Homo-oligomer: A and B are copies of this chain.
Amino acid sequence: MAEADPPLYFDAHVFVCCNRRAEGHRRGSCAAAGSEKLRDYMKARAKELGLKRVRVNMAGCLDRCEFGPAVVIYPEGVWYRPQTEADVDEILSAHLVAGGRATRLMLTEKDVPPPKS
């Protein structure tokens, strides 16, 4: 961050990939893996928890389709793969409320797409 940058507008900005590809695409897609419902759930739960400087948004293809539903939280740049509402709760409580990590659900630097064929 440069010295003259304005303060962060959101303390945590969450992006949930909601890209949908046709059934049978070799890479799959986050929407096909259920990301849209998880995004809706996350938005609603963040509101219920009163997380005021947190924003949850849908996003286009984040290009980690094989490891989706893909979620990234900035400014930390930490990626998660929630597959159930319980997973979303775990990310909310561990990361967004407590400021830690939901370690079990994190993507790592090894989670990269296979080379284009």
Interface residues of A (CB under 8 A from B): 1-2, 4-10, 13, 15, 55, 57-64, 72, 74-79, 100-101, 103, 106-109
- Interface contact B72-A62, CB-CB below 8 Å: no
Q: Which residues of B contact A109 (CB under 8 A)?
A: 6-7, 9
Q: Which residues of B contact A8 (CB under 8 A)?
A: 77
Q: Given that A2-B101, A5-B101, A108-B6 are contacting pairs, would A57 and B55 also be in contact in the complex, using a CB cutoff of 8 Å? A: no
- Interface contact B77-A5, CB-CB below 8 Å: yes
- Interface contact B58-A106, CB-CB below 8 Å: no
Nearest-neighbor residue (CB-CB) of A7 within chain B: B109
- Interface contact A5-B78, CB-CB below 8 Å: yes
- CA gap between A105 and B114 in the complex, in Å: 37
- CA gap between A13 and B77 in the complex, in Å: 9
Nearest-neighbor residue (CB-CB) of A95 within chain B: B2
Nearest CB on B from A1, distance (A): 6
Give me the 10 closest cross-chain CB pairs, A-B, nearest first: A74-B74, A58-B60, A6-B109, A8-B77, A57-B60, A75-B75, A57-B59, A59-B59, A75-B77, A6-B108
